[in-house]
Structure 1
Amino acid sequence: MSEYERSRTMPALPEHVFDQAGDVGRLESWMPAQLHVRAQELPAVTIHEDATGRDEPALLRTDREQMRLEWGTREDGVYAGWLQVAGAGSGASEVTLHLSFFDERHDPGADTVHAALEGSLERLEEQVRLRIDGGG
């Protein structure tokens, strides 16, 4: 099993960050570009990966009270992940992204995963900034 984690401080209240991160219709605005989410009857979703051309049944759960998203493959248990938003004081938030690969054959490697986590956090921060600056 491999586990990866990255965190970033964002200049917005935790509720604003979580609202942006947890909006199923906006997941693709911050997720890696090669992944696409189609919501079914939540928590069921389908993840399409451009690199393989495959659709993977998955689960996505949001817990606004805990400001946490959790996801993972539904049938084969290959991977799981979570996003946690916490207050960091002075109107800022700390966002942590975590991925676990339960089958080493599906782990793309530390460099690839760390780059994907960093990129996702950067895009999420940009989306949060746009929402806050744009007032919507």
Structure 2
Amino acid sequence: MTEYERSRAMPALPEHVFDQAANLGQLEGWLPDELHVHSENAPAVTVHEDRTDQDTPALLRPRPDQMRLEWGTRHDGGYTGYLQVAGLDSGASEVTVHLSFLDDEHDPGEKAALQALDRSLERLEEQVRLRVENAGG
């Protein structure tokens, strides 16, 4: 099993960050560009990966009481992951994204995985910043 993790501070309350991250209609705004999530009957989703041109049945479960979003493949156990939001004393948040690849078929490699996690966190922070600015104005 191979695991990757990245964290990033975000300038918003944890509830705002989690609401943005868990919004099914806006997942593609922060997920890696090559992943496309199609909601079938939540928590069941299909993830299309451009790199392999494959559709993978998956589960996506928001856990608002824990400010956690969990996902993974539905049938083969190829990968799992989560996004966890934690509050900071300053009123900001820290977001951690963790991926576990149980087989090599789904693992894009360390460099690609870490770059995708960093870019996803940047994109999520941008979405959160826009939401907070629009709510205040």
TM range (shorter): over 0.9
Aligned-pair distance for 1:104? 2.6
Percent sequence identity over aligned pairs: 66
Q: Does the alignment pair 1:76 with 2:93? A: no
CA RMSD, Structure 1 to Structure 2 (Å): 1.0
> After the TM superposition, which parts of structure 1 deviate over 2 Å for at least 4 consecutive aligned residues?
none
Question: Partner of 2:14 in structure 1?
Answer: 14
Q: How many matched pairs?
A: 136
Which one-letter code corresponds to 2:120 in the other structure?
A: S
Q: Structure 2 matches for 1:1-136, cutoff 5 A?
A: 1-135=1-135
Quick one: distance in 2 between partners of 1:56 and 1:106? Answer: 10
Aligned-pair distance for 1:26? 0.6
Which one-letter code corresponds to 1:127 in the other structure?
A: Q
Which one-letter code corresponds to 1:134 in the other structure?
A: N
Aligned-pair distance for 1:77? 0.8
Aligned-pair distance for 1:106? 2.8
TM-score (norm 1): 0.97
Which ranges of structure 2 fall in alignment gaps of 5 or more residues?
none
Alignment partner of 2:41: what SS? coil
Aligned-pair distance for 1:79? 0.5
Alignment partner of 1:103: what SS? coil
| Deviation readout 1:12-31 (Å, 9 max, x if unpaired) | 00000000000011100000
| Deviation readout 1:22-46 (Å, 9 max, x if unpaired) | 0011100000001000111111000
Aligned-pair distance for 1:108? 1.4
Aligned-pair distance for 1:90? 1.4
Aligned-pair distance for 1:89? 1.4
Contact 2:67/2:85 (<8 A) preserved: yes
Alignment partner of 2:88: what SS? strand
TM-score (norm 2): 0.96
Quick one: distance in 2 between partners of 1:99 and 1:60? Answer: 13
Alignment partner of 2:26: what SS? helix
